[in-house]
């Protein structure tokens, strides 16, 4: 069974600037309240540890980096138990959206026996987390203009 979550927004910065902020893991502390304390490198095949905060609850995560394609795609995978039970592919996709603007799409594709059930409960707070990431990133990049 597969389930999908998605959030799309515009950011007031070029794709290159959005990419630079998104891939600067140490810089996340200044704008990212959903994914915190990243530890690792965004290198395909490596694992980045971080904390996921949803609705004031925090849990440790291990993300295996699947794709790093500057300045447009960052993708990682998480598993909870065996992959046949629940696996999640998280994608950040950045595209040009006009002069000095970007379209940021955040999505998760959940697969496995428990995907539908887990997404039914975690979907709304996950999408709120996507919105918080986009808002924080937009604010961070807007503060740096000029």
Question: pLDDT digits over 9-32, tens only?
Answer: 999 999 999 999 999 999 999 999
d(CA 28, CA 97): 23
d(CA 15, CA 18): 5
Q: What is the mean pLDDT of the chain?
A: 93
Q: Give the other-Cβ count within 10 Å of 69's Cβ.
A: 12
DSSP 3-state of 53: strand
Section 58-73 average pLDDT: 96
pLDDT at 120 over 60: yes
Cβ pair 23, 42 in contact under 8 A: yes
Which pLDDT score is estimated for 145? 57
Section 35-44 average pLDDT: 97
Which pLDDT score is estimated for 146? 46
Section 105-128 average pLDDT: 93
CA angle 88, 94, 100 (to 5 degrees): 155
């Amino acid at each position: 069974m597969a389930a999908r979550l998605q959030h799309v927004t515009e950011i007031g910065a070029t794709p290159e600037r959005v990419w630079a902020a998104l891939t600067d893991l140490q810089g996340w502390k200044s704008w990212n309240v959903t994914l915190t304390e990243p530890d690792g490198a965004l290198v395909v095949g490596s694992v980045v540890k971080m904390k996921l905060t949803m609705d004031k609850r925090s849990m440790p995560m291990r993300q295996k980096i699947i794709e790093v394609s500057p300045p447009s795609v960052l993708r990682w995978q998480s598993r909870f138990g065996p992959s046949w039970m629940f696996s999640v592919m998280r994608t950040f996709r950045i595209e040009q959206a006009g002069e000095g603007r970007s379209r940021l799409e955040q999505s998760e594709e959940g697969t496995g026996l428990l995907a539908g059930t887990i997404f039914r409960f975690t979907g709304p707070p996950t999408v709120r987390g996507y919105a918080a990431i986009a808002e924080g990133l937009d604010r961070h990049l807007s503060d740096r203009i000029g």
